[in-house]
Amino acid sequence: MRIPEELADRAQRFGDRVAIDVDGGGQLTYRAWDERANAAARGMAAEGVAKGDRVGLLMPTDGAVEFGIGYAAAQRAGAAAVPINPRYARREIDHIVADCQPRLVLEADDVPKLEAAGADYSPFQVDVDDDDIADLFYTSGTSGLPKGVVSTHANAASHSLEPIESGGVFLHSMPLATFTGVHGALLTPMRLGVTSVVQPGFDTSRFAELVEERRANYILVVPAQILLLLEAGTLSGRDTSSVLAVMFGGAPTPPAAVEALADTFPNAVLLNGYGLTEGGASVCVLPPGEARKRPGSVGKPVPGAEVRIVDDDGRVVAGGDVGEITLKVPTGERRYWGDDEATARTWRDGWVYTGDLGRVDDDGYLYVVDRKKDMILRGGYNIYCVEVEDALHEHPDVVEAAAVGIPHKVLGQDVCAIVRLRPGADPLTVEAVRSFLADRLADYKLPRRVEVRTDPLPRTAMAKIDKKALLPAREEDQ
């Protein structure tokens, strides 16, 4: 069942149930979502949108109601929805628009105007095929300008879920324009038939209040939000007994934070997912009860998915050895928009080459140890940043940590730790850090430089630590 059809089904079954509820903003029932998407699709057609076109959606999180309508309307008009992150720099937005040439780029205020132009709320759907494009997501562009990843209707339909008749509350504060923001935070609640409570602009105090106030059953967070919640302590003393599942992923989560998360939500299963836009949704999930037993693991492949660890020549490495993570996904192969060369590098013989380094243990659990481009090579030794960062996060005064390679004239590279400390913490010296880590890391992995920051570490539009932004702060070792 394609996304527009799923929405129509939920509207028929749960018409009066609130589908999207923006904290401090508007609400949208399933029936209203379905009907308003029909009217907006007609409005798009009146504006010249035709089958195969693209429709950009440039909206912040507080526009979740209008975003949801615009996303469904684009597909009903036969077009591909193109979420555009408003946090992107103007250069990046201009690049996306020039790259995919959308017929329309919509901001939140434009959606009601399209509905008025359509002026008919009865069912509307331009005929589309499984191979037609449903949406087009632009990656964060850590190695250059963002690249568009194409999802067909067949790709998107593979995520179908059975609705929960009794309903429930799904709480998040996700950027709408990310793959997780759409397929995780918008479409998953829709498919389950529950109410998505959206907090615009993540705030730890209000998020904690919403957990208790709305009796949230399902929570979707990224690791940065986990760390901020734990640092602020705003969940302490809150009634979290309603929470049945906490879903997280998108970047490595320090094992110490996972332990604290389990203590904070004692009735919840912790679902650590691993995937990427190129693969489509989570490919590996850590089953309930395993988060504590397997610190650092992102789980086993979901049914229909496969994980293979390969060397630089594409050969499968021995069990337990580190190599590049490649994935075979049940959602079907994707491609980059207008970039055949990059497509050929990433999708090879049915496998997605992720650019992540990892290993698989004897029980088949995957551990992500670094981005391939971030690995530090020190005097012939491979050092994986995630391993260093996880160890740094065990320090009681460390709130945020990043490990990066700095140039060294003899060794090639050395390890620099960049940390943010809890307010009031004593200064942290290189000697103190090395002493704390001495029984946690091999000596060659210990940082030779430590930078202490007072401001939060810079993050990308996808809430991952922006290591490129950290580079200018470093000078070459002598």
CATH of the domain at 428: 3.30.300.30
Query: How do residues 343-385 score in pLDDT, each as one tens digit?
Result: 999 999 889 999 899 999 999 999 998 888 888 988 878 898 9
Q: Among 372, 388, 409, identify where a domain stops.
A: 372
Mean per-residue pLDDT for 170-189? 93
| Residue 140 pLDDT | 65
Can you tell me the distance from the alpha carbon of 257 to that of 394, in angstroms, rounded to the nearest whole number? 9
Query: How do residues 101-134 score in pLDDT, each as one tens digit?
Result: 999 999 999 999 999 999 999 999 999 999 999 9
| Residue 374 pLDDT | 85
Q: Are residues 12 and 130 in the same domain?
A: yes
Residue 478 covered by a domain = no
| Residue 144 pLDDT | 65
The answer to whether 248 and 271 are in contact (CB under 8 A) is yes
**In this model, does residue 336 exceed pLDDT 50?**
yes
Q: Are residues 83 and 191 in the same domain?
A: yes
**In this model, does residue 477 exceed pLDDT 60?**
no
Q: Among 356, 372, 388, identify where a domain stops.
A: 372
**In this model, does residue 476 exceed pLDDT 70?**
no
**In this model, does residue 475 exceed pLDDT 80?**
no
CATH no. for residue 353?
A: 2.30.38.10
Residue 300 covered by a domain = yes
Residue 185 covered by a domain = yes
Q: Identify the band that residue 330 occupies on the pLDDT scale cut at 50, 70 and 90.
A: confident
Mean per-residue pLDDT for 314-327? 92
| Residue 302 pLDDT | 85
| Residue 478 pLDDT | 35
| Residue 68 pLDDT | 98
Domain that holds residue 343: 294-372
Q: Are residues 387 and 315 in the same domain?
A: no
Mean per-residue pLDDT for 267-273? 88
| Residue 170 pLDDT | 98
Residue 271 covered by a domain = yes
Q: Are residues 162 and 201 in the same domain?
A: yes
Q: Are residues 138 and 235 in the same domain?
A: yes
CATH no. for residue 97?
A: 3.40.50.12780
Q: Are residues 288 and 298 in the same domain?
A: no
Q: Among 293, 316, 342, identify where a domain stops.
A: 293
Residue 406 covered by a domain = yes
The number of domains in the chain is: 3
Query: How do residues 66-109 score in pLDDT, each as one tens digit?
Result: 999 999 999 999 999 999 999 888 888 999 999 999 999 999 99
Share of the chain above pLDDT 90, in %: 65
Mean per-residue pLDDT for 422-447? 92
Can you tell me the distance from the alpha carbon of 178 to that of 93, in angstroms, rounded to the nearest whole number? 14
Q: Are residues 180 and 301 in the same domain?
A: no
Q: Are residues 82 and 188 in the same domain?
A: yes
The pTM (predicted TM-score) of the whole model is 0.86
pLDDT, averaged across the chain? 91
Q: Are residues 82 and 185 in the same domain?
A: yes
Q: Are residues 271 and 306 in the same domain?
A: no
Q: Are residues 30 and 130 in the same domain?
A: yes
Q: Are residues 248 and 309 in the same domain?
A: no
**In this model, does residue 143 exceed pLDDT 80?**
no
Share of the chain above pLDDT 70, in %: 97
| Residue 224 pLDDT | 85
Query: How do residues 396-413 score in pLDDT, each as one tens digit?
Result: 999 999 999 988 888 889
